Amino acid sequence: MASGASRALPEGWRDWTWQMRNRIRNADDLAAWLSPTADEASAIAALADRFHFVITPYYASLMDPADPLCPIRRQVVPATAELDDPDGLRDPLDEVAHSPVKNVIRVYPDRIAFCVNNECALYCRYCLRKRMVGEKGWAMKQRELGEAIDWIRRTPEIRDVLLTGGDPLVYSDDRLEWLLAELRAIPHVEIVRIGSRLPVTLPFRVTDALCEMLAKYHPIWLNTHFNHPRELTADAEEACDRLTRAGIPVGNQSVLLRGVNDSVSVMKQLCEGLVRMRVRPYYCYQAQLLEGTAHFRVPIERGVEIFHALRGRTSGFAIPQYVLDTPYGKIPLAHPYLHGRDGDDVIVESYDGRIWRERNPK
């Protein structure tokens, strides 16, 4: 079994459409990359009609075939632990109830998440939208896209539109351009954000042609989703560099996942590696109470400890905000640095635990 680093790469490897056509979809395809463990083989069969199993050859090349606990493999190869999650919910953020029209999620007054596509290059086992990604009934028909755009046009408070999914960059350049042109024609839409994991899972999608097209519709922002330093490859770096050279600020939203990035050293390597690539660590999400993901969840206190340990020990802008997403919006989770008042002073704590008193301005 050869790893991606040592095997000869087939012709077409760097063509994103080749990658999409040659995705791993079953245990036999996976066997070309690694020998599935008994647990993985049985989970692939047991979960076949519950949550799609799809991996790009590029992302498979990052997996360690010799390590069943490999943090890349853990994110995308099914495990039987997914069948044992009594607390898991189908829609923990109540997104369906927050949708004024199909696939538009409104939690805040001025911005929406617009799930334009329900396809991804691969399917992450902890995906918050596993109820819809890859599922036929959630795909947006052209008429439904038009209805959603009409709703945005009729709702003048919406100034910030996040295109998400699924993954909007799975769209062809032409279809994405049509959508961006429609949104740009709405005067109250000030910014368009794109949420895409393709810089991580299929970096060849970020072509010069795509970036040139996106740059016509500024201000465009893009948030991607690196979870582990091993994902920070030369190809991923090139994709992020193309985006930033096109004037698109790139941020990262990771998820705190047991066995993937739930340690100070891994999180520090990830965040510092992102900053070296000029990608700003933006959020790290607490994993939701989502069906089939109990084995990924980390106690919130542990998450707070990890980000507290980073404070003062790396550049401040390399530390993402650790948040819990809820049906009421995102709640920042942080060590309590502000201890309270004492007379005219406030008592605060430094990164290394020293106490400071500061006169509180009246």
d(CA 199, CA 112): 23
Q: Which of residues 128-167 bind ligand SF4 (CB under 6 A)?
A: 129, 133, 165-167
d(CA 353, CA 341): 17
CA distances from 218 to 184, 214, 245, 352, 357 (A): 9, 7, 13, 42, 45
- Shortest CA distance to 325 belongs to which of 292, 288, 293? 288
Q: Which stretch binds ligand SF4 (CB under 6 A): 121-129, 235-243, 277-285, 303-311?
A: 121-129
Give residues with Cβ within 8 angstroms of 215, minimum separation 6: 246, 247, 248
Q: Which stretch binds ligand SF4 (CB under 6 A): 123-131, 144-152, 170-178, 186-194?
A: 123-131
Give the one residue of 93, 124, 179, 271 binding ligand SF4; rule: CB under 6 A.
124
Minimum CB distance to ligand SF4, residue 356 (Å)? 40
- Shortest CA distance to 307 belongs to which of 278, 285, 277? 285
Residue 120 or 287 having the CB closest to ligand SF4: 120
Q: Which stretch binds ligand SF4 (CB under 6 A): 94-102, 122-130, 236-244, 282-290?
A: 122-130
Residue 202 or 310 having the CB closest to ligand SF4: 202
Q: Which stretch binds ligand SF4 (CB under 6 A): 116-124, 182-190, 276-284, 342-350?
A: 116-124
Asked if residue 123 binds ligand SF4 (CB under 6 A), the reply is yes
Residue with tokens 């692939």: 44
d(CA 240, CA 176): 19
Asked if residue 54 binds ligand SF4 (CB under 6 A), the reply is no
Give the one residue of 44, 105, 127, 271 binding ligand SF4; rule: CB under 6 A.
127
Residue 52 or 308 having the CB closest to ligand SF4: 52
Helix (H, G, I), strand (E, B) or coil at 349: strand
d(CA 195, CA 313): 29
Residue 61 or 293 having the CB closest to ligand SF4: 293
Across the chain, the runs of DSSP E, i.e. the strands, are 104-105, 111-115, 160-164, 191-195, 220-224, 250-256, 280-286, 321-326, 329-332, 338-342, 345-349, 355-359
Structure tokens at 218: 């500024």
Minimum CB distance to ligand SF4, residue 75 (Å)? 8
Asked if residue 199 binds ligand SF4 (CB under 6 A), the reply is no
d(CA 253, CA 106): 19
The answer to whether 148 and 102 have CB atoms below 8 angstroms apart is: yes
Structure tokens at 154: 């009729």
Asked if residue 52 binds ligand SF4 (CB under 6 A), the reply is no
Number of residues that bind ligand SF4 (CB under 6 A): 10
Residue 56 or 61 having the CB closest to ligand SF4: 56
Give the one residue of 60, 77, 79, 120 binding ligand SF4; rule: CB under 6 A.
120
Minimum CB distance to ligand SF4, residue 337 (Å)? 31
Asked if residue 197 binds ligand SF4 (CB under 6 A), the reply is yes
**Residues engaged in binding ligand SF4 (CB under 6 A):** 120, 123-124, 127, 129, 133, 165-167, 197
